[in-house]
Structure 1
């Protein structure tokens, strides 16, 4: 079996759905299992509708119109979507009646994006001679905890997903499964966090021991840099799981950071492909690439916060780092990069995190310096940390462009080298580094 996941832009128009159906037909002999995101823009529209409902406004017209326009352009009757739209309207009226919005209620509302898109694709695919069945992931075994908005999939999901999906395929059906959503043991709808449809695809791929997991998006695979910043960015044809994980974690937008994990654990290759350019071979992600030692790509995150913690009182004291990490854990603040010295600990976190409680606790035993509007840049490739020539090139290039480095972080895995700079200089730095590593004759 083959997993094919189609993202929001891939689902965003009638022409794109035609392409998807053609791609499914090409892979019919490989027993495809389809995973879909909501139509591009619909998740945001559903979130806005939920918050509008708190203030008494219930309006689904734009959401309904978007799906109707796509199906009408395909010559397909949209009436099958009506029960789901009615159910969504009832959810919003419920929110309006209580004038409040809990994370659980928000997950209920947002889940309709994928539920509608799965039915829409199935309707059109069936009209084109395919035997598909649209199903919600929670109806085929996607069981999660109750951390609404960022739920974790429970281990028992894998057995049930295998059983249910394999049975459908053996019946001659092509499953079209909702990404991003699940249900708790108690039957409450949950979401896996933004971008979680990729994670769904990987979990399903691992559960059914797929031959490959394909992530269909709007770029030609993993790029040497963000093509919106670097026009000369190129597709990387082959990367390792570790390299892909580092790139996604440090800001590459192609993959959800969790996507790689289930695939890696079961040694299933992941291929990133472009629905807008389906003949492009894209990027293949495999467990390892023997003998490969080169920088593959540059990833970055803008608007991160740099925190420096100094404590002469606890300098070299047993348990100092443990205490620091415990505080961030208790406040659910994820650390991106970290660097330590004899006198301080520096680390970065994403902007928008509520840091007040963590900072107050840290100040009980240390001096804390907060620097906003920073950016983290990460160069990823097997052996980058051991390549002194590459490290020297990084600093020479940044120096030539008068870009100050505020922090250096070398990954323990030896496949990433990270720096922190002022956010406003990110594009300049990425372009300069890309030129020296990927555009100049080596």
Structure 2
């Protein structure tokens, strides 16, 4: 194994077309320590594959498959001496077309169809690299390494088995070789293809980095750094040079889309430094995510997460009795509903859910769950809310913080406040249509 190992992940926009792939190849080849390269599907391909998996019309499926076919063959056509590559890509595209027409609409079928995006992009990108670096580049099927359970759509990785697989199939070959592999996909014990959930390529890269004890995990995307808030909302937002693991984890959970929320977990477990940079502007400084940073400001960044649902349940059975919360959370667990924030009073509980109907298990509140809750409590559901989080350090012990924060928002209806559970965030709910103005106000005052 080499002295220094880096895992580099490139997102969909970085794989968008031949020129984008060439830029990414230059980034990889500029650093011989980049030993594992994880790629997403080409931009827009996962959306097309999702439409195939959800369509009930064979003609529509074929039309969507043709769009994917043309996009990938166009990239292949720009590579010299590409007959072998063309054969590999055409075989995958033919398999996709057959699979698209052949399956019942099950979660397993959906995962199988979605897997073709990363399998296609990685096959092509490996050849783009190989064209410049020769036989030192190998294509790797991520499913040989990323072992998961069978929870299709949001599979949980088997960390121990992933490390075993990496020791057998990766570590002995890293010294003189660069592996190109796929994000997002894995394989269950029964040999069935699984996916880690939308945006899971970052997580895949982190799992690879953890399995090989990498020194650095690089996330190459279409933004130059992690910013103090979304620059599309606040034009004065500033790039952050360094941010701690804990701050980055909070930031990703509370809406920052630069990092997938699960990415930080493997990095924290193995203390792997994480770098976020732009594949479009690789010379820009980017952001380092570290265990310890030189500065520890009270407020580092402000994040916004839209499409929040506030569920409030009310029951006199809560008063001085045990078991109510257990019953409440059992219903939510049975329906695989993910809860974010929770506040309680003597007879009420309010909690937030992330309303994402496209990904099962991310907080979507089905009618059946509401009916079950109504058998033992009153239920109120409010939608069209946004969650705003102030991310920083020692927020729970910094005196005089809450006053200035909320006095600056006079006239804004704040539905829920969560403060003190974490030293790294203070968060609250506001109406969706007021959210951006709140972010601008807070950024101007505190950052």
TM-score (norm 2): 0.92
Gaps of 5+ in 1: none
Instruction: Kindly provide the CA deviation profile for residues 177-212 of structure 1, in whole angstroms up to 9, marking residues without a partner as x.
Output: 111111111111111111111011101101111111
- Per the alignment, residue 143 of structure 1 pairs with 147
- Per the alignment, residue 162 of structure 2 pairs with 157
Equivalent of residue 180 in structure 2, options 156, 176, 195? 176
- Per the alignment, residue 360 of structure 2 pairs with none
Q: Contact 1:250–1:336 (CA<8 Å) still a contact in 2?
A: no
Give the Cα separation in 2 of the matches to 1:161 and 1:332: 31
Cα 1:87–1:124 change in 2 (3 A) is closer
Equivalent of residue 388 in structure 2, options 365, 369, 377? 377
Give the Cα separation in 2 of the matches to 1:196 and 1:169: 24
Alignment of 1:86 with 2:91, yes or no, is yes
Cα 1:413–1:354 change in 2 (3 A) is closer
Q: State how 1:219-258 maps to structure 2 within 5 Å.
A: 219-258=223-262
Equivalent of residue 41 in structure 1, options 11, 35, 44? 44
Q: State how 1:175-214 maps to structure 2 within 5 Å.
A: 175-214=179-218
Gaps of 5+ in 2: 358-363
Equivalent of residue 120 in structure 1, options 119, 124, 127? 124
TM-score (norm 1): 0.93
Secondary structure (helix, strand or coil) at the match of 2:428 reads strand
Alignment of 1:396 with 2:407, yes or no, is yes
Alignment of 1:62 with 2:67, yes or no, is yes
Measured after TM superposition, the shift of residue 61 of structure 1 is 2.2
- Per the alignment, residue 430 of structure 1 pairs with 439
- Per the alignment, residue 354 of structure 1 pairs with 365
Secondary structure (helix, strand or coil) at the match of 2:400 reads helix
Number of matched pairs: 432
Give the Cα separation in 1 of the matches to 2:325 and 2:52: 44
Measured after TM superposition, the shift of residue 159 of structure 1 is 2.0
Instruction: Kindly provide the CA deviation profile for residues 365-407 of structure 1, in whole angstroms up to 9, marking residues without a partner as x.
Output: 22111111111111111112322333222212211xx211111
RMSD, matched Cα = 1.9
Cα 1:31–1:419 change in 2 (3 A) is closer
Measured after TM superposition, the shift of residue 101 of structure 1 is 1.7
- Per the alignment, residue 297 of structure 1 pairs with 301
Measured after TM superposition, the shift of residue 82 of structure 1 is 3.7
- Per the alignment, residue 18 of structure 2 pairs with 14
Alignment of 1:283 with 2:287, yes or no, is yes
Equivalent of residue 365 in structure 1, options 369, 376, 379? 376
